[in-house]
Amino acid sequence: MKFVSWNVNGLRACMGKGFIDRLNEQNADFFCIQESKMHKGQAVVETPGFEQHWNSAIKKGYSGTVTFVSEALQPIAVTNDFPGQSGEGRTITVEMPGFYLINSYTPNAQPELARIDYRMKYEDDLRAYMQELDKKKPVILCGDLNVAHNEIDLKNPGPNRGNPGFSDEERGKMTELLSAGFVDSFRYLYPDVKDAYSWWSYRANARARNIGWRIDYFIVSGRLADCIKEAGILPDIMGSDHCPVFLELDDEKLQALV
């Protein structure tokens, strides 16, 4: 089973850069996007073979998530947001027979950490929500989580220490999440791989120079770790300042957990 996650930084703009082709080429069962920046119906988004599940922000042109689910699958339920959060279109949860898939666009702390209190509450609410779901069946969290957890996860950790996405507070919340029984799938397979990034500034030719950050993740319940076949980053796919990340799970091992 294959999952893909991508912050498209505006779905309408990304569609003009080949989004539908990228969606189809990945042959994914689930394709989650963040920062759609639109409401359903503001543009024609035709995705044959996929059901569309939208959560748009009240504020137009802001935030937003969409989860595309293969029509071959039958979700038990699809819900938007979670206790303590609503209005910004930041999460979609798809319940499947063997797991929950949460698509999250975690709030940016903003310059000078102006929104750090909101960010911390979001982190705490999300972790509590995941822990409750995990009591029922395994959880897969994907999306732009807006944090580089460790120094290996960004090119220039020194100058960025304390900045949004690499503050002690944000990194600490990721540590809390992983300590609560969850696994960073990419680092589970590749603990020492360097220069693996999923976001690059548009400034100073950063992407071509690979001066980036790894802030897009697949986080899974610990008991799913043995099901991970592959977890990776697709830096050659253009269309946004982020690139897609993906997760592949072993179907037989996953089925054995049901």
Catalytic residues: 105, 144
Compute the distance between CA of residue 202 and CA of residue 184 in angstroms, rounded to an integer.
27
Compute the distance between CA of residue 18 and CA of residue 140 in angstroms, rounded to an integer.
27
Q: Please state the φ and ψ torsions of residue 226, each to the nearest 5 degrees.
A: -70, -15
Cβ atoms of residues 10 and 45 within 8 Å: no
Cβ atoms of residues 250 and 227 within 8 Å: yes
For 234, the token pair is: 């697709």
- Residue 13, classified by CB atoms within 10 Å of its CB into exposed (0-12), middle (13-18) or buried (19+), is middle
For 47, the token pair is: 């995705």
> At CA 227, angle to CA 224 and CA 232, rounded to 5?
100
